[in-house]
Structure 1
């Protein structure tokens, strides 16, 4: 049991390191890598990849400049949340898996891919790393470790497609655990994919941040200082 916990910690730590590198790549470059992958997979899978990338570029890729009152510049931008678990109920379509995976990746997260079909998970990992995805940003994890991953305080969230009972179980796990507040991104309709197919689905996988740059000499706006000098 102790060895299993240690292995899980190493796995998540490595995924966090890969996430920071992947997140720094930028939306345009991440989308370009995923869109190259879309050309190599079956048409229906490729369409889902392109759809998620297009939505992310439209809704979360742009930055917004917010000038500060004392001369600094504040840039509002979107960033990945961290390490995301991707899992589905057995028998769920590949479009659902790929939709979840693409949305998480294009937004800058690393992914712990936890599927019953481990062979397909390994195939996805290999294909994406061959076309430029950073090594370690996708980690294939055996389905038996799902509970341990969900309960771990460092995972940022889980995207799950499947039945209501499992979704409720995952929600309770996340609510009871310690550490980081985690996101549950659930899809209950495995046929029409109303959640995964929504244009703003990518918003579930990002967090907003502000970058501040002080461009004044004394930490204040010279014009404002002059106005206040009498």
Structure 2
């Protein structure tokens, strides 16, 4: 995971986002089970640091367990004879993971795990008070053999610029209600497709992030249709999805 310091304009931010998105298809293509296996190794690395990292590892494992139940199953859908229809989940793309000065290590781990296991790549922006812990957390992700550039960090001081113009599909933020309202207004002012906003205001108890269904805020649903009735037995595949959940 590379840290980019001293970004001076939006071109730098867009380049940073593009580097993370360059590995998105590879990561999303692993499927939920493949991502869970790798992130499980990440949780083990994090837990070995002890202290607050042990609580962060528990949060990682919690969301991996929920992913096994909520995201991993592929659901059969009704269809005509000779046609197989399946409903499954996939990532949206690039998520910004952030928070104000109240952001904790376990909160960050929960946000990041949800985004990653759902099939997204991530851009992380944290205040300096959590910078050292964030670097350690991401170093353990590299150690677990995550794709290079899957998660990159950006300057916290430039957060509003990132929110305004970076090519992101979603934002996960832990902050005061006042700051969350500010972030929501910035996102609402963007042109184009609406950005998914996953906001947690209870920085102490984290009821949203600790929810078993938190992961569903980071996915999109896709359908896959296989037609086995074509002449000569050829199978045709139709896969439909969208960036909206």
TM-score for both structures, normalised by structure 1: 0.89
Deviation per CA, 1:39-71, whole angstroms, max 9, x where unpaired? 222321211110011011111111112242263
1:89–1:162 CA contact under 8 A, matched in 2: yes
Question: Structure 1 residues 68 and 153 mapped into 2: Cα distance closer, same or farther (>3 Å)?
Answer: farther
| Whole-angstrom distance in 2 between the partners of 1:68 and 1:152 | 42
1:154–1:180 CA contact under 8 A, matched in 2: no
Q: Secondary structure at the match of 2:23?
A: helix
2:102–2:203 CA contact under 8 A, matched in 1: no
1:80–1:108 CA contact under 8 A, matched in 2: yes
| Whole-angstrom distance in 2 between the partners of 1:72 and 1:215 | 6
Q: CA RMSD in A?
A: 1.9
Residue in structure 2 matched with residue 223 of structure 1 by the alignment: none
Return the offset for 1:127.
Answer: 1.3
Which has the higher mean CA deviation after the structures are superposed, 29-38 or 77-86?
A: 29-38
| Whole-angstrom distance in 1 between the partners of 2:175 and 2:101 | 8
| Whole-angstrom distance in 1 between the partners of 2:187 and 2:55 | 33
| Whole-angstrom distance in 1 between the partners of 2:83 and 2:22 | 31
Q: Of the candidates 90, 96, 99, which is equivalent to residue 88 of structure 1?
A: 99
* Residue 145 in structure 1 maps to residue 150 in structure 2: no
Question: Structure 1 residues 145 and 21 mapped into 2: Cα distance closer, same or farther (>3 Å)?
Answer: farther
| Whole-angstrom distance in 2 between the partners of 1:36 and 1:3 | 36
Q: Secondary structure at the match of 2:33?
A: helix
Q: Of the candidates 196, 200, 211, which is equivalent to residue 183 of structure 1?
A: 196
Residue in structure 1 matched with residue 234 of structure 2 by the alignment: none
Which 5+ residue runs of structure 2 have no aligned equivalent?
1-6, 232-245
Matched pairs, number: 218
Deviation per CA, 1:173-213, whole angstroms, max 9, x where unpaired? 11120123211101111111100000000001001011122
| Whole-angstrom distance in 1 between the partners of 2:104 and 2:160 | 22
1:153–1:180 CA contact under 8 A, matched in 2: no
Q: Of the candidates 83, 88, 93, which is equivalent to residue 77 of structure 1?
A: 88
| Whole-angstrom distance in 2 between the partners of 1:45 and 1:150 | 26
| Whole-angstrom distance in 2 between the partners of 1:39 and 1:192 | 24
Question: Structure 1 residues 153 and 94 mapped into 2: Cα distance closer, same or farther (>3 Å)?
Answer: closer
| Whole-angstrom distance in 2 between the partners of 1:128 and 1:56 | 18
Residue in structure 1 matched with residue 31 of structure 2 by the alignment: 26
1:66–1:74 CA contact under 8 A, matched in 2: yes
2:56–2:107 CA contact under 8 A, matched in 1: no
| Whole-angstrom distance in 1 between the partners of 2:110 and 2:133 | 15
Return the offset for 1:153.
Answer: 5.9
2:105–2:134 CA contact under 8 A, matched in 1: no
Residue in structure 1 matched with residue 177 of structure 2 by the alignment: 164
Q: Of the candidates 64, 72, 89, which is equivalent to residue 61 of structure 1?
A: 72
